[in-house]
Structure 1
Amino acid sequence: MSDYLTPSPNIETERLLLRGWRESDFETVAAIYADPDTAAYIGGVQDRRQSWRTFAALIGHQSLRGYTFYAVERKDTRDTIGWCGPWYPEGRPEPEIGYSLHKLHQGNGFALEAVTAALRDSYDRLGWSTAISAIDANNAASQKIAKRLGATWNGETFMLLPGRTGQIWRHLSPDRFRERFHDAA
C-alpha cells in the first residue's frame, strides 16, 4: 500500500515535485496556519486541532472531486513547503487554482513554478475550460503571481470567508495558456 493519502499523479518541475499528500505533511500545514503572516490570506491562524481539520478537508476534497491541492516538495531538500493546485469546494464560483507556501520558502519563485504546473495539469489532465484564483484584496504577492501568469481581475469579487472578500483573478483560457507557456514547467 502506498504511503500517499491522495492518489495524485506526480508533477515535476525544475525545482519542485507536486505530489499526493502524506500524513507527515500535516506538520507543514500546521506550521503555515500557525504563522500569522502565512495564515493571513487563507483564513487566519489556526491551532493544531483546527489545522488537522483543514488537512482532513484537503484530503477529503480528493474523495469528493477526484482532485485536490498537491503537496509541494522541494526536490533538492525533499522538504514539503506548502500546497498548490486545483480546488473547487462547494460555494466557489468556478474551479480555482490555489496555493500557500511556508514563509521560509516564499520569494524564491516556487509559487510561480508550482502554480504554472498546476494550471497546466488542470487544463490538460482534468479538462478544465476555465480557472480562477480567489485572492484576498490585500495579498499583493499573489496578485503579482496571477499577473505573471496572464490572469486578470476585472472587478469581480467573492466572499472568501465571512467578512473577507476576495478578488476573482481569471486565468488565461487553456489555448492561450498553452500558447504562452508551451515550454514552461
Structure 2
Amino acid sequence: MSNVLETERLILRPPIADDFDAWAAFMADEEDARFIGGAMNRAVAWRAMMIMMGSWSAYGIGMFSVIEKSSNEWIGRIGPWQPEGWPGTEVGWGIRNSAQGKGYALEAAAISMDYAVEHLGWSTIIHTIDSENLASEKLAKRLGSVLMKRDVFLPAPLNTEPVNVWGQTAHQWALNRQSLTNSSKS
C-alpha cells in the first residue's frame, strides 16, 4: 500500500511544499485551528508543516494533506500520528470549516484508519479530542470509537488543557468499517 490514498472524492498524500499557503491559512484561522493547537502565524505554521513532512520521511506517519478531487483544493489534514509522549497511536483530523458537512472527514478518517491497521500494523487507534469539540466526538462515534479515558494531558506544548481519548482496537475497526461501508451503500 502506497502512502497516497484515494477515495471517490479525495486524495490523501503526505504534505508537499505547494500545500503551504493553504496549510498556513488553515492554521491561522481561529475557528479552523481551535482544537488542533490553536491559531498560529505563518512562521509557526511552516515549522508545524515541516514537522509533518519530517515525520513522514523518518517514520512513515503523519497527517496527510486532504485534497478534494473535483477542485484540486487542499481542504485539511488527517492521518496517523504518534509524537513522542503521545497517549497512543492516533488517527487525527482537521478539515477547514468551509469543507465541513460534506462527509469528507468521515471518508478521510476511515481510509486513514485502514492505512494505520493494514500498512502500519497498528492494533489500537485513538483520537485525542477536546471535550468541547462535539463535532469530533460525533465523528469518532460514527467511526465506532468509544470514550476510553477522560482528562488526559498531551505532552508539552499541548499540555495546558486536558483532552479525552476515544478509540478502538484494530479488530473493532474491522467490524465497524464493515458496518460503515454497508450503511453508506444503503
Query: What's the TM-score once normalised by structure 1's chain length?
Result: 0.90
2:16/2:53 contact within 8 Å kept: no
Match of 1:179 in 2: 175
1:29/1:82 contact within 8 Å kept: yes
The answer to which of 133-142 and 13-22 deviates more is 13-22
Q: Which amino acid aligns with 1:61?
A: S
1:136/1:166 contact within 8 Å kept: yes
Does 2:161 align with 1:167? no
Using the alignment, how far apart are the partners of 1:52 and 1:59 within structure 2?
10
Using the alignment, how far apart are the partners of 2:173 and 2:34 within structure 1?
29
Q: Which amino acid aligns with 2:81?
A: W
Q: Greater helix share, 1 or 2?
A: 2
Using the alignment, how far apart are the partners of 1:115 and 1:162 within structure 2?
24
The count of aligned residue pairs is 177
1:152/1:170 contact within 8 Å kept: yes
Q: Which amino acid aligns with 2:11?
A: L
2:39 is matched with which residue: 6, 21, 45? 45
% identity of equivalent residues: 36
2:134 is matched with which residue: 124, 136, 140? 140
1:34/1:46 contact within 8 Å kept: yes
Cα RMSD for the two superposed structures:
1.6
Using the alignment, how far apart are the partners of 2:120 and 2:6 within structure 1?
17
Q: Which amino acid aligns with 1:119?
A: M
- Shift of the alpha carbon at 1:63? 2.9
Q: Which amino acid aligns with 1:94?
A: G
Unmatched segments (≥5 aa) in structure 1: 1-7
Moved over 4 A (4+): none
Match of 2:111 in 1: 117
Match of 2:85 in 1: 91
1:17 is matched with which residue: 11, 19, 30? 11
Query: What's the TM-score once normalised by structure 2's chain length?
Result: 0.89
Using the alignment, how far apart are the partners of 2:56 and 2:44 within structure 1?
19
Q: Which amino acid aligns with 2:33?
A: A
Using the alignment, how far apart are the partners of 2:124 and 2:159 within structure 1?
26
The answer to which of 137-146 and 102-111 deviates more is 102-111
Unmatched segments (≥5 aa) in structure 2: none
